[in-house]
């Protein structure tokens, strides 16, 4: 001991050796290798100190997980979880690289609770790093190639520089999945991703196959079913289409005070949040589901939902409730049916025509006509198809048709949205026009009863 203290350099080496065998103190690194691992409660911090990777327990829970959170925000906000389906029961967890080169979460008995599960040559050829974007990457040391990354296996949060991706050829999809509850990060009931049937739109599903909310189609600048996307809060989004792969992204240069994340809550809502340093709290710039009208299909087929109206549901003009009793009791799920069948002729003076409904969220199941049609051509294309119920024409998309399904999930907006042209029989449209004219004359009668009497008697 006296010898060690008389040689300061040797003492320093001994202390460094001790700290490297004590993972609690090995936190300055942003990298895990075959020799360097972290043991609960140790952590890694990205090079600019933006994100931290380590062990945590959710609120009101003793279970422990490996996750990533913001490093400089006092309220611990988890953005990604590794072993979300298999929690650690105590603080014996280790996060390391296994013999096959994969990232793994081990418990005290060396049982693998989670693995990145990709192929690589050997553990000496891989390393993992937490980046300043919040992305955890597993790299091949020899080539520098990324073998796996957390951004392609997200949890419930979408960060700047992350990408939603859907490949219509391979069916590959990157999606968010909600936590089960705020205290349980296991996979919940809700997921959100880009759906591409004809045109890309963001969709929340409940239990994988039930549509819960939808954004409306992308017009090249925004999702036209989200009026708020015209505001500064949601600017900068980008959607790129290449080789049947649709990729939606947000620029990385947003600060956490401008754009923290898009967050899929355990209740199925999708919110865009930012950190307010003055209030020391997360605030919301945008919330997907704000009224009952935002839920998918609230008013059923051929119904339209207006959150400012009472009741919120009504049938489109030319339609009536399918089940009058249920409708009047506030159960609108059966929707509406036509009052007058379509004639399906467009050459006669009394052929089908279109009624314009302005500023709406366009219905689901759109068919995109990628033929370079003008707006008049689009109208004629619909008239030529007896099954076509409506059309719309938007800059950035052009001709949209609805011919394979009922018109469902239409919502009235105060601003934004698009114009929908609904096909009606000539008799129905003529009645609507006459009703409008009569309303004008009745209003005029209030000021000139004499003229009214001469006009109608």
265, 314: one domain: no
12, 147: one domain: yes
In a domain, 363, yes or no: yes
271, 398: one domain: no
Nearest 5°: the CA angle 411, 415, 417 is 50
Check: CB of residue 120 under 8 Å from CB of residue 101: yes
- Give residue 119's pLDDT: 79
CA–CA distance, 360 with 182 (Å, rounded to integer): 34
Q: Exposed, middle or buried: residue 242 (CB in 10 Å: 0-12, 13-18, 19+)?
A: exposed
18, 124: one domain: yes
pLDDT in tens, 404-420: 889 999 999 999 999 99
Question: 441 pLDDT exceeds 50?
Answer: no
Q: What mean pLDDT is predicted for residues 323-331?
A: 97
261, 305: one domain: no
Question: 11 pLDDT exceeds 80?
Answer: no
CATH code of the domain covering residue 85:
2.90.10.10
251, 358: one domain: no
pLDDT in tens, 445-454: 444 433 343 3
Question: Of 152, 178, 201, which closes a domain?
Answer: 152
Question: Of 152, 184, 218, which closes a domain?
Answer: 152
Check: CB of residue 303 under 8 Å from CB of residue 314: yes
- Give residue 78's pLDDT: 98
CA–CA distance, 115 with 137 (Å, rounded to integer): 13
284, 335: one domain: no
In a domain, 439, yes or no: no
Question: 367 pLDDT exceeds 50?
Answer: yes
In a domain, 453, yes or no: no
Counting Cα atoms < 13 Å in the Cβ hemisphere of 138 gives 27
Closest CA to 316 of 332, 328, 301: 301
Question: 19 pLDDT exceeds 50?
Answer: no
- Give residue 235's pLDDT: 59
**Count of residues in the chain:** 457
205, 320: one domain: no
In a domain, 22, yes or no: yes
- Give residue 348's pLDDT: 58
In a domain, 451, yes or no: no
In a domain, 266, yes or no: yes
Q: What percent of the chain has pLDDT over 70?
A: 84
Question: 96 pLDDT exceeds 70?
Answer: yes
257, 177: one domain: yes
Check: CB of residue 93 under 8 Å from CB of residue 23: no
Name the pTM for this structure. Answer: 0.86
141, 214: one domain: no
29, 43: one domain: yes
CA–CA distance, 324 with 67 (Å, rounded to integer): 52
pLDDT in tens, 213-222: 999 999 988 9
User: Of 91-100, 345-354, 419-428, which range is least confident?
Assistant: 345-354
Domain count, the chain: 3
Question: Of 290, 312, 339, which closes a domain?
Answer: 290
Q: Is 111 helix (H, G, I), strand (E, B) or coil?
A: coil
**pLDDT level of residue 325 (50, 70, 90 thresholds):** very high
407, 281: one domain: no
CA–CA distance, 5 with 12 (Å, rounded to integer): 10
Where are the strands (E) in 94-160, listed by range?
A: 94-97, 103-106, 112-115, 126-130, 136-140, 146-149, 157-158
- Give residue 124's pLDDT: 63
- Give residue 414's pLDDT: 95
Question: 21 pLDDT exceeds 70?
Answer: no
In a domain, 420, yes or no: yes
Average pLDDT, the chain: 87
pLDDT in tens, 119-131: 765 556 899 999 9
Task: Give me the domain span that covers residue 21.
Answer: 2-152
In a domain, 454, yes or no: no
């Amino acid at each position: 001991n006296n010898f060690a203290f008389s040689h300061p350099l040797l003492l320093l080496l001994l202390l460094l050796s001790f700290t490297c065998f004590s993972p609690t103190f090995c936190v300055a690194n942003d990298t895990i290798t075959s020799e360097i691992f972290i043991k609960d409660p140790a952590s890694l911090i990205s090079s600019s100190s933006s994100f931290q990777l380590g062990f945590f327990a959710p609120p009101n829970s003793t279970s422990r997980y490996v996750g990533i959170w913001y490093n400089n925000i006092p309220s611990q906000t988890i953005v990604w979880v590794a072993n979300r389906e298999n929690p650690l029961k105590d603080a014996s967890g280790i996060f390391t690289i296994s013999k096959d080169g994969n990232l793994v979460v081990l418990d005290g008995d060396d049982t693998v609770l989670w693995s990145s599960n990709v192929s690589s040559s050997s553990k000496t050829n891989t390393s993992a790093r937490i980046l300043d974007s919040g992305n955890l990457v597993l790299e091949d040391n020899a080539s520098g190639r990324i073998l796996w990354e957390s951004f392609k296996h997200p949890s419930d949060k979408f960060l700047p520089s992350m990408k939603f991706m859907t490949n219509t050829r391979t069916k590959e999809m990157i999606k968010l999945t909600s936590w089960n509850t705020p205290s349980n990060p296991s996979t919940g009931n809700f997921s959100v991703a880009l759906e591409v049937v004809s045109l890309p739109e963001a969709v929340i599903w409940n239990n994988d196959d039930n549509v819960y909310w939808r954004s409306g189609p992308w017009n090249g600048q925004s999702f036209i079913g989200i009026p708020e996307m015209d505001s500064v809060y949601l600017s900068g989004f980008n959607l790129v289409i290449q080789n049947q792969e649709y990729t939606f992204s947000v620029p990385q240069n947003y600060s956490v005070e401008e754009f923290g994340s898009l967050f899929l809550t355990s209740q199925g809502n999708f919110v865009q949040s930012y950190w307010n340093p003055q209030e020391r709290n997360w605030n919301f710039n945008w919330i997907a589901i704000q009224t009952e009208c935002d839920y998918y299909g609230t008013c059923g087929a051929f119904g339209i939902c207006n959150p400012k109206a009472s009741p919120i549901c009504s049938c489109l003009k030319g339609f009536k409730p399918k089940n009058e009793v249920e409708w009047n009791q506030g159960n609108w799920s059966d929707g509406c049916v036509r009052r007058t069948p379509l004639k399906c002729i467009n050459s006669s003076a009394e052929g089908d025509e279109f009624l314009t409904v302005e500023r709406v969220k366009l219905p689901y199941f759109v068919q995109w006509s990628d033929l370079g049609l003008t707006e008049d051509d689009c109208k004629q294309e619909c008239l030529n198809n007896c099954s076509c119920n409506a059309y719309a024409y938007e800059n950035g998309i052009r001709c949209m048709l609805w011919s394979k399904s009922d018109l469902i999930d239409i919502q009235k907006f105060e601003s934004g949205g698009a114009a929908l042209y609904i096909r009606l029989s000539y008799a129905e449209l003529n009645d609507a026009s006459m009703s409008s004219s009569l309303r004008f004359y009745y209003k005029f009668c209030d000021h000139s009863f004499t003229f009214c009497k001469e006009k109608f008697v």
